[in-house]
Structure 1
């Protein structure tokens, strides 16, 4: 007998091929395939209404086929009724397709199917396209989340949000107490998969944040042992939720994102382990700081597991799993990075899968300091302004070497030796003075900044009150957003008065030394060094638009150089400038010679 996985997955793919060959709309293919497999499962379990069975006559006579669908719609089982009453997708199928589909199902009538729901959803995930209504994580992520929940025997599990559906199926293989709440009204897919599962799970179609389905007779939230949410990313909540206008008093921390509101809901709805997925920005953004602080200070946060980008079918956004214990008393948080080669394997050119889940669980249970796992005290997280970025606490070998060097050196924080200047506020074609804007494109790899070409105009009053916003000789330009971490040094002959002065654009900041004891060339050489670049790289955040927090930049330690090091640094920058001028001179000579050939 063939393995069930191969059987069910090949069955789903055969339906996909049949539908495509008969011109059936692609966005219906998952629905049609699941309904057909549900009929097969119900037939094998003698659960088709009126004693009906799969037979060849269903394939020959559309009247019998329609009678079967009508009987399913009239079933006393609410899930069966919902699956087949959702629309007329099966009734509208052409007879040639019905004939082929029933013939295909009959081949599986006497084959044991151990986990048809699990294998069906795995196939759907692998067949994900942009037209599919939900984006799912790779199936391996749901296996990891299921393992994080622990033993589910005799316990209840609550799942919310459409992307959590695969985990509802996996959990139902181990427990009869699984409840899935989703806002997705096209959710006959959830009911179909429930009917295929070893233990059917309860499906409720409601908005858990607005009107939760699982409440007691006293109008209190029903509590579960476990809770899970693979939340939609970046979706904003309605104002009444952000203002905590809620009869269940869930949203006690101000929040504007659905993923955060879901966390607060789960904390109220569950008494045991909670697993949630969050986008990378949740771990450090100012908007979510209050919630991070609440989770850490209350001892609820047990672990942060950083997942690789490319683990979701619908987006390349990097995400993490949070392991939360609403009744916990955690004094530290375990940080685990599973983005290394040890834990990932490619499934397609764009998508990844997790491997070695058992090792991830071992690292979670351990308190040892490992290359990809560490335990961090709540007090240290507090000192780091509740930043939960895994990269903040797990350092690669190069970062560890830099930290060792810094610990053995005399250092001073950057904000003690410099001040930071922003660019001026400008409006195109307004004002009497022309200024030139410096951005990332003007920053060369070595030496001086190229002469900017982008012009803007400012008024006399704006110029007079913002004179410090103009660039001065040997100012250091630092890009905070976009080409984050890129830097350059202003040439000594930059114009500082009159028309066509220079200023930085809005993506950059000016670093200007405030003491004669600190030579800007020395500081620039330090920031460009291996040690400086390693420190700067560790500050970069943002999966879509890389950025650096100015607050964090101000606090990086700078090694106080010896006299010899200062002299070497100044000589290095001067030499870079000489080299760059020589290169520009040679290029100009080359262009002049070339322009004389076959000129017009």
Structure 2
């Protein structure tokens, strides 16, 4: 709020610290009180000048009022308290500090709402810098919760106005109004720190947004979006269509892959207004325009390229539309991925291409109609390539997917490229990624195939990763599109022992390096933990999951609600969100005491005592099931949750828990049993040292297992060379 700003009676009352009737009395009885405009608001500078001679009487004088103080002084104090932080008054924040900033909000959506605030800040700074500057200079009507939320609302309103002006849906900005800051200074600080964000940081915000989404909702991972675009977007790209917008990530990947985006027409359909809005903002920040339509306005378009990552096995707008290609293909059943495939094919013009993310089962399903569609794709030379991707690429879901690349119907005997990239995933920050090296391998395999297609001379593919297969070899009773079947059958043993030993030598090198790292880590933590031991109940809250009777299995859902973590979800020290059951929202609200927070440690209390797992931010707000125990650290400055998890994995803790379990008829441990376990409690630095060292030792085990696998394959290949025979 600047001194040239106009204020309402209510805002003036808050600034001057009086009741609204007092302001009305000034207006009616005060001589020469400034007149309001046609909107009923008053110019703040005129009102302040008028109040400068009105003293605050002793009976209503507050702690901050001087003996001769006026109501104008009160207004100036309110404005000063709400003043923006001056640039240069503190060191520039790091990117990590900005991304970790939080305003209070709804517990279920707080992380997402804060990330939308950051995205909004970048949006306003890049599209309307003058409006952004004006927001930072506003003075709210008070310095508490009312003023803080007033300021957040002004930010949301400015973003909505800007989005509408550019033809984009503003729905995503409604998330800002769920934030509940208690003081203007916190909002000010947030705005100042967001000034460090630019268009180059949008992908990081989008990645964090994806990680914060609830179970069952996800964006297309950046590595997958880039792979699709890099494979098919080339100099022929004139228009790109995404039939199921999530966050605009496929269209932005197309822009990155295109030689020039100046003449590239971007189109998309959103199943809901938030997806439309998020995609539009993502593109506008990058300076790109697009035609984005809600599903009820979707119509047939003719584009050169389609990039699609549609939903699988759920109801969607595509099921409500007539199935295209009726003369060529039978109609797939509802919720089938093939409905999306036929829709994408119908949008292609001429020599265009479509890259579609498909579920692995679509490659070999026994459904008669889906098998007929696969056969027609082969008969009409419409299938160009199938790429199997690693599992675990999507946040919170350990699912595998594949990519199908399709063309319009062609004449001629065109082969199909099958790429098995399922083993090319790498672990990064607790999830699987297809890193740049792996992505380049896949793209190169596809580009090499295209080069062969240009002269109708194809190679056999890259050994153990890809295979070029004649159409006649694909057509069979099942008409399978599973890359593993063709890559394995086409793999050839190395031509000589030198090649074979070279591969094995690399594995031994990795083992030796890992062995050295593990030796150093083992030496670092070789001395026993001599710290004092304390009962777990003194440093943790130990709580058992809710009773089965409170939410029987027949009251759980597979489609909507709050995810329930069960024992089989605890794998390799983390929670794998596959085959989740969901608690209806109204029932989950009654089970809020069983909610999970990031840093909680879960362990199994009945049956096989599998290793524990640490809850991360993606599982925040989920529920723990009957057969689990939740350990919540009281003070993370005293006990690191990852050290706690390492202790519970230890032989000492497992043996103790087995003793407890063995003393019962049904093999279970109670919260009291676990609470009685004595844990060594060294310094926090020592705890971090221990967990880091144990992680290195875990990696040694993984590398050693890989060596066994490679050595076994090498031995089998040598045997094959000696004796021959089918592989």
For the superposition of Structure 1 and Structure 2, which TM-score range results when normalised by the shorter chain? Answer: 0.5 to 0.7
What is the match of residue 426 of structure 2?
345
User: Aligned partners of 1:230, 1:361: CA distance in 2, in Å?
Assistant: 18
What is the match of residue 470 of structure 2?
377
Query: Which ranges of structure 1 fall in alignment gaps of 5 or more residues?
Result: 1-5, 216-220, 402-529, 535-557, 560-600
Q: Does the 8 A contact of 1:136 with 1:314 survive in 2?
A: no
User: Aligned partners of 2:247, 2:163: CA distance in 1, in Å?
Assistant: 27
Shift in Å, 1:396: 7.2
What is the match of residue 479 of structure 2?
386
User: Aligned partners of 2:459, 2:194: CA distance in 1, in Å?
Assistant: 50
How many residues align structurally?
378
User: Aligned partners of 1:50, 1:37: CA distance in 2, in Å?
Assistant: 13
Shift in Å, 1:155: 1.5
User: Aligned partners of 2:319, 2:445: CA distance in 1, in Å?
Assistant: 41
Give the structure-2-normalised TM-score: 0.46
What is the match of residue 425 of structure 1?
none
SS at match of 1:100: helix
User: Aligned partners of 1:231, 1:303: CA distance in 2, in Å?
Assistant: 18
Q: Does the 8 A contact of 2:283 with 2:290 survive in 1?
A: yes
Q: Of 267, 275, 278, which aligns to 1:189?
A: 278
What is the match of residue 267 of structure 2?
179
C-alpha distance after superposition, 1:111-164 (max 9, x if no partner): 572434333222323x245x2562234321111011012226862110022457
Q: Does the 8 A contact of 1:233 with 1:259 survive in 2?
A: yes
User: Aligned partners of 2:311, 2:129: CA distance in 1, in Å?
Assistant: 36
What is the match of residue 202 of structure 1?
291
Q: Of 159, 170, 173, which aligns to 2:253?
A: 170
What is the match of residue 225 of structure 2?
142
Does residue 309 of structure 2 align to residue 309 of structure 1?
no
Deviates more, 1:222-231 or 1:112-121: 112-121
C-alpha distance after superposition, 1:550-571 (max 9, x if no partner): xxxxxxxx99xxxxxxxxxxxx
What is the match of residue 285 of structure 1?
365
Q: Of 185, 205, 209, which aligns to 1:99?
A: 185
Listed as ranges, the matches of 1:181-580 within 5 Å are 181-187=269-275, 188-206=277-295, 211=296, 213=298, 215=299, 221-235=300-314, 245=322, 252-256=329-333, 257-271=335-349, 272-287=352-367, 288-329=370-411, 331-340=414-423, 343-349=424-430, 351-356=432-437, 357-366=439-448, 367-369=458-460, 370-371=462-463, 372-383=465-476, 385-395=478-488
Shift in Å, 1:388: 0.8
What is the match of residue 10 of structure 1?
96
What is the match of residue 635 of structure 2?
none
Change (3 A) 1:325 1:12: farther
What is the match of residue 595 of structure 2?
none
User: Aligned partners of 1:323, 1:198: CA distance in 2, in Å?
Assistant: 29
User: Aligned partners of 2:359, 2:180: CA distance in 1, in Å?
Assistant: 44
SS at match of 2:488: coil
Shift in Å, 1:96: 3.8
Shift in Å, 1:88: 4.7
Deviates more, 1:40-49 or 1:385-394: 40-49
Change (3 A) 1:103 1:184: same
Q: Of 122, 125, 129, which aligns to 1:43?
A: 125
User: Aligned partners of 2:312, 2:224: CA distance in 1, in Å?
Assistant: 16
SS at match of 2:434: strand
Deviates more, 1:45-54 or 1:138-147: 45-54
User: Aligned partners of 1:112, 1:70: CA distance in 2, in Å?
Assistant: 20
Change (3 A) 1:289 1:381: same
Give the structure-1-normalised TM-score: 0.55
Change (3 A) 1:50 1:142: closer
C-alpha distance after superposition, 1:249-293 (max 9, x if no partner): 599422124421111011111221101111111001122211211
What is the match of residue 203 of structure 2?
118
C-alpha distance after superposition, 1:534-564 (max 9, x if no partner): 9xxxxxxxxxxxxxxxxxxxxxxx99xxxxx
Shift in Å, 1:326: 1.9
Q: Does the 8 A contact of 1:332 with 1:375 survive in 2?
A: yes
Shift in Å, 1:75: 4.8
Shift in Å, 1:317: 2.6
Q: Does the 8 A contact of 1:303 with 1:334 survive in 2?
A: yes
What is the match of residue 518 of structure 1?
none
SS at match of 1:286: coil
Change (3 A) 1:100 1:172: farther
User: Aligned partners of 1:350, 1:51: CA distance in 2, in Å?
Assistant: 38
Query: Which ranges of structure 2 fall in alignment gaps of 5 or more residues?
Result: 1-91, 449-457, 494-711, 717-724
SS at match of 2:313: coil
Q: When you count helix as a share of all residues, which structure comes out higher?
A: 2
